[in-house]
């Protein structure tokens, strides 16, 4: 799923669906409850629900695939929306250097407000070069 998320983020969200992702890249924007970018999360939630329903009877592989997508979605929501973008007043700090490195890398992704030129499209994977840059033992 991290590969799917990376690909979607790099080539679709920063590609032909930039219109939906762009409001997530505006710095200092007054945060509303929802943003256009949330459509991507809802889209994947729909896929996950569809797979789970499809595979529920007889526990077909699609059921477990759907659970996997849902699990990634939950981790993404907690990490990206709550931990990085602070959409809820919980999970503000972590002592885990890995999570703090991921947060720095995602803020680095957000330094660019345009469709082109951004880096670090992954959420739970960071390239070795960027890892070196953002890993601090704090
Ligand atoms: Zn982006
Ligand atoms: Zn973000």
- Say how many Å lie between the CA of residue 116 and the centre of ligand 2: 15
Res. 137 pLDDT band, cuts 50 70 90 = low
Residue 71 CA to residue 18 CA, distance in Å, equals 25
Ligand nearest to the CA of 84: 2
Which of the four pLDDT bands, split at 50, 70 and 90, describes residue 132? very high
CA of 80 relative to ligand 2 center, distance in Å: 6
* Number of domains comprising the chain: 1
Over residues 73-125, the pLDDT tens digits come to 999 999 999 999 999 999 999 999 999 999 999 999 999 999 999 999 999 99
Residue % of the chain over a pLDDT of 90: 92
Contacts of 61 (CB under 8 A, 6+ apart): 55
Which ligand places an atom closest to the C-alpha of 5?
Answer: 1
Question: Crossing angle, helix 61-76 and helix 38-56, to 10 degrees?
Answer: 150
Q: Which domain holds residue 36?
A: 2-134
Alpha-carbon span 25 to 8, nearest angstrom: 16
Q: Residue 32's pLDDT is what?
A: 81
Ligand 1 centroid from CA 126, angstroms: 14
Rounded distance between C-alpha atoms, residue 31 and residue 70, angstroms: 25
138 pLDDT higher than 70: no
CA of 54 to the centre of ligand 2 (A): 31
Using one digit for the tens of pLDDT, what is the confidence trace for 12-33?
999 999 999 999 999 877 778 8
Ligand 2 centroid, distance to 61 Cα (angstroms) = 31
- Quick: pLDDT tens for 29-76: 777 889 999 999 999 999 999 999 999 999 999 999 999 999 999 999
pLDDT at position 34 is 92
Q: Compute how many other C-beta atoms are within 10 angstroms of the C-beta atom of residue 116.
A: 7
């Amino acid at each position: 799923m991290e590969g799917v998320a990376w690909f979607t983020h790099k080539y679709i969200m920063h590609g032909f669906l930039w219109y939906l992702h762009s409001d997530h890249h505006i710095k200092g924007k007054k945060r509303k409850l929802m943003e256009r970018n949330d459509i991507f999360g809802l889209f994947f939630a729909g896929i996950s629900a569809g797979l789970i329903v499809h595979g529920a009877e007889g526990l077909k592989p699609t059921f477990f695939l759907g659970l996997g997508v849902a699990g990634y979605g939950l981790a993404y929501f907690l990490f990206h929306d709550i931990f990085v973008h602070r959409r809820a007043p919980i999970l503000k700090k972590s002592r885990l250097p890995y999570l703090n490195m991921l947060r720095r890398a995602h803020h680095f992704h957000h330094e660019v407000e345009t469709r082109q030129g951004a880096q670090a499209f992954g959420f739970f994977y960071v390239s070795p070069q960027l890892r070196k840059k953002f890993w601090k033992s704090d």
